[in-house]
Amino acid sequence: MEQAKQLNNSIEKTVITKERLILLEIVMFLTYAFFSASWLAGSTLTKMVVKEFGLNGVPASINNAISIAKIIGNFLAAWFLMKLGPKKASVIASILISCVFLGAFTHTFPMFIATRFLMGFGGALFVVYMASYVMYFAPADKRVVFNGINGVAANVGNGIALLTLTPVMNMMGTWRNTVMFYGGCSIVLFILWMLVSKDFTIASKNDTVAEKKYSYFDALKDPFLYAYVFTYIGLFMVFVVMVYLFPLNPSFTISSKTVTLLLVLGSVLATIVGTNLAKRLPVEKEMWSIRISGILLTLDCVVLAMTKSASVAMAASFLCGFFMFISVATFATLPMKRKGATAGSVSVIVSLYWCLSYILQMIFYTGIVSVVNNIGWSTAIWIIAAGSITWFLGSFLLQPFFKKD
């Protein structure tokens, strides 16, 4: 009877070849990477944009539009997935990311912000669907590899923007043409996604009823969600501050571009090392990789807070990226390793996880900026260093969810 049930389920499950899976992953990775590249490029072009629209100062609304869109998009992602199915939902997400292209044709600043909002909304949806596709199509022993690669997509996108923005600006001539270039890349990736993506059934008649019943309300009652968010928020704040705030410190010894590139290089190396390490670690040792990297990340933040040496700052920036991402593959796979986990339940958990993470990130970032303005950089940096400890402490909160029966 059990064999017959497994055979029936295997027949219903959508199967793709290894080559198709790799192609799907490449397009999925690049879609999110160029979303991130468009985000950073748009932020960098802010002064040119506001000058053309005749505004004074640099409005925070350019980045806030994406942050707010991400919160809304993350919250609704699983709902869209359930209602529309994976392919339609992810195609819509990819279309929305491509809407950044329209920003080149806007004639008012609010319309430009609207295109940024749509892009952010699409990116928020797509990052959740990446997890669902990995959960459904990737073999269980390869999920950590795919999650590790996808985990560094945003950072690679930042690197792409930093390395290409100046030559693209020189080649294209105006900020509008530059926006068109990055938006055009997203449009090409949208077309490719249409061709390579596959649909699959979130909950079939022969699947477990647990997947059908795991709703937003169930997730909000699930202690795992809050332990998962708590663990990540310290690392998330370190990343955001390192990329967007820390380089603005007038006493910091290296440029913002150098910091971001070193973070990217560290994160790429960490992804290679981390995914290989995660494949070899037994389940009971996985939390230790998070704990050790958490302690090292906090110590590295302390070094960044204290150093006046450019060489030390460069080494610490590289190591910061390394320690942040070496355990991300393991961490991203945890919702998929829970007992009874399915593509549907993972999408709900990941949806709310990103939503709560971005809400907390906006609150904490606002607080840190206030500390910088009213107290000083030194205090703000020490607060971030202290907050990074959640990556270490959270591993103890997550451990009970993965005890062997």
Measured CA distances, 165 to 29, 42, 109, 179, 183 (Å): 20, 10, 22, 10, 13
Is 125 contained in some domain? yes
Q: For residues 86 and 32, what is the distance between their CA atoms, to the nearest angstrom?
A: 16
One domain, residues 224 and 348: yes
Q: For residues 97 and 104, what is the distance between their CA atoms, to the nearest angstrom?
A: 14
Q: For residues 243 and 258, what is the distance between their CA atoms, to the nearest angstrom?
A: 10
One domain, residues 195 and 238: no
Tokens of 262: 């070193």
With CA atoms as reference, report the closest residue to 319 among 350, 335, 295, 340: 295
Under 8 Å CB-to-CB from 380, ≥6 apart: which residues? 368, 371, 372
Backbone torsions φ then ψ of 376, nearest 5 degrees:
145, 165
One domain, residues 29 and 52: yes
One domain, residues 30 and 49: yes
One domain, residues 57 and 83: yes
Is there a contact between 45 and 26 (Cβ–Cβ < 8 Å)? no
Domain that holds residue 67: 17-201
One domain, residues 219 and 334: yes
Exposure letters 68-102 (e unless 16+ CB within 10 A, then b): bbbbbbbbbbbebbbeeebbebbbbbbbbbbbbbb
Is there a contact between 254 and 314 (Cβ–Cβ < 8 Å)? yes
Q: For residues 171 and 177, what is the distance between their CA atoms, to the nearest angstrom?
A: 9
One domain, residues 213 and 281: yes
What is the value of pTM for the model shown? Answer: 0.83
Is 3 contained in some domain? no
Is 183 contained in some domain? yes
Exposure letters 266-302 (e unless 16+ CB within 10 A, then b): bbbbbbeebbebbeeeeeeebbebbbebbebbbebbb
One domain, residues 143 and 190: yes
Mark the ranges of the chain whose per-residue pLDDT is less than 70: 1-14, 56-65, 203-213, 246-248, 283-284, 403-405
Q: For residues 99 and 232, what is the distance between their CA atoms, to the nearest angstrom?
A: 30
Backbone torsions φ then ψ of 331, nearest 5 degrees:
-65, -45
Q: Which helix (H) or strand (E) holds 91?
A: helix 86-98
Is there a contact between 321 and 107 (Cβ–Cβ < 8 Å)? no
Under 8 Å CB-to-CB from 402, ≥6 apart: which residues? 283, 286, 287, 334, 337, 338
Is 177 contained in some domain? yes
Backbone torsions φ then ψ of 215, nearest 5 degrees:
-105, 180
CB atoms inside a 10 Å sphere around CB 254: 16
Eight-state DSSP code of residue 272: H
Measured CA distances, 80 to 37, 89, 361 (Å): 25, 6, 24
Does the CA dihedral 69-67-130-176 come out positive or negative? positive
Helices (H) and strands (E) in the chain, counts: 19, 0
One domain, residues 187 and 265: no
| Residue that is last in its domain, among 167, 201, 235 | 201
CATH number, domain of 160, equals: 1.20.1250.20
Exposure letters 191-230 (e unless 16+ CB within 10 A, then b): ebbeebbeebbbbeeebeeebbebeeeebeebebbebbbb
Is 81 contained in some domain? yes
| Residue that is last in its domain, among 174, 201, 228 | 201
pLDDT at residue 322, rounded to an integer: 93
One domain, residues 193 and 324: no
One domain, residues 180 and 240: no
Torsion of the alpha carbons at 201, 205, 210 and 216, rounded to the nearest 10: 50
Is 6 contained in some domain? no
Is 5 contained in some domain? no
pLDDT at residue 257, rounded to an integer: 76
pLDDT at residue 319, rounded to an integer: 92
One domain, residues 397 and 284: yes
Q: How many domains are there within the chain?
A: 2
pLDDT at residue 101, rounded to an integer: 94
| Residue that is last in its domain, among 186, 201, 216 | 201
Under 8 Å CB-to-CB from 29, ≥6 apart: which residues? 149, 150, 153, 156
Is 8 contained in some domain? no
With CA atoms as reference, report the closest residue to 364 among 391, 389, 383: 383
